[in-house]
Amino acid sequence: MQVPPVFNPPPRRLLGPGPSDVAPSVLEAMSLPLVGHLDPVFVKMMEEIKAMQRAVMLTKNEMTFPVSGTGSAGMEFCCVNLIEPGDEVIIGVNGVFGTRMCDVAERCGAKVTKVESAWGTIITPEQIADALKKVSKPKFVAIVHAETSTGALTPVEEISKLAHAAGALMLLDCVTSLAGCPVRIDDWNVDAVYSGTQKCLSAPPGLSPVSLSPRAMEVATKRKTKVQSWYLDVNLLSAYWGQERVYHHTAPISMTYGLHEALRRVLLEGLENRWHRHEQNHLALKKGLAEIGLEIVSQAGHQLWQLNAVGVPAGVDELAVRKHLLTDYNIEIGAGLGPLKGKIWRIGLMGEASTKENVDAVLGALRKILKK
């Protein structure tokens, strides 16, 4: 075959549901020379990552580290370690990722009770309370905090209290919320949490920050059956990410460099400052959209700052608009999924991409395209 030329990607503005734009310093970190994954300097960096990840997640959980794999690997990590065949679990479903969690849990042998809300709306404590009355011994209650497919943010503190009162663990999907809006793992008494690097952390996809509470670790270590996945078994991974440093797998070294720098950038900015930046840019986008006759259609009062579900006006070809944005303006936004396909655009303002410049750019481009 003829060898293709060196790949040279165009300079896109990544304003979709992910990945988000990555800071030059993160890309620079990923270009540094490799060291071994058991090298003392790499091990030191692993400890720094664990400490910074705890600070970003607002947790003191010892078992806090990045799983080698994307956010979906983090979802599987939590499910395979906590679920044994026949366990009953309750999962909130109000979009794609709640649906996916149900699939993963069922593959682990769980009996799943779905708590469903219309796409674009939240899961309420009342719905969870009703479900808990029907489940005799729930292993966990799981919620997608920030549903990327719909732009809805479900409050979880009251749901967590209900779960614990019923003797269940609380599992939280923070893939899109972490570092973009308040996520308080210890204050909310969350037992298992997973996220992704490619959203508001603004590193490339490839790692999934996870954290397990001591209560969740007790469940994982006192199982009667082996964890379904060898690769994601926390009993094995804890020996690598803990003090023993027992070889488990070859860590993605360059990605780990990138996460280290991404977490540093979050903490240098400050969590409160970062949350405020996301909120202000969301509000500016919302105001600008209203001025050109567009609106965010996810539930009022529960709209994500970092992922905006914008209704497509009647008679507008949503795909044609996205194509124009990409080809004429180098701006990527996302399409709707499932029942929202063709009905919304998903505009992400995540991490490095959450800037006034990007808000102005996407509003200006939409204004010109829709006039045509």
Task: Report DSSP letters for 113-168, one per residue.
Answer: EEEE--TTSPPPHHHHHHHHHH-SSEEEEEEESEETTTTEE---HHHHHHHHHTT-
Write the CATH number for 168.
Answer: 3.40.640.10
Asked whether residue 6 is domain-assigned, the answer is no
pLDDT at 242: 85
Q: What's the pLDDT score for residue 189?
A: 98
Question: What parts of the chain have a pLDDT lower than 70?
Answer: none
The 10s digit of each residue's pLDDT in 288-318 is 999 999 999 999 999 999 999 999 999 999 9
Q: What would the pLDDT profile of 219-267 be if each residue is shown by its tens digit?
A: 999 999 999 999 999 999 999 998 888 889 999 999 999 999 999 999 9
Q: Which pLDDT belongs to residue 247?
A: 86
User: Do 230 and 312 lie in a common domain?
Assistant: no
Tell me: do 263 and 284 sit in the same domain.
Answer: no
Judge if 309 and 177 occupy the same domain. Answer: no
Number of structural domains in the chain:
2
Q: What is the pLDDT of residue 182?
A: 98
Contact between 332 and 361 under an 8 Å Cβ cutoff? The reply is no
**Residues 110, 107: Cα–Cα separation, whole Å:** 7
pLDDT of residue 246: 87
- Residue 110's pLDDT is 98
Mean pLDDT, all residues of the chain: 97
Print the domain residue range for 253: 24-267
pTM check: above 0.95: yes
Give the pLDDT of residue 245: 83
Angle ∠(174,113,301) on CA atoms, nearest 5: 45
What is the structure's pLDDT at 372?
A: 81
Which CATH number is 317's domain given? 3.90.1150.10
Which residue type does 140 have? F
pLDDT value at residue 223: 97
171: nearest Cα among 80, 60, 106: 80
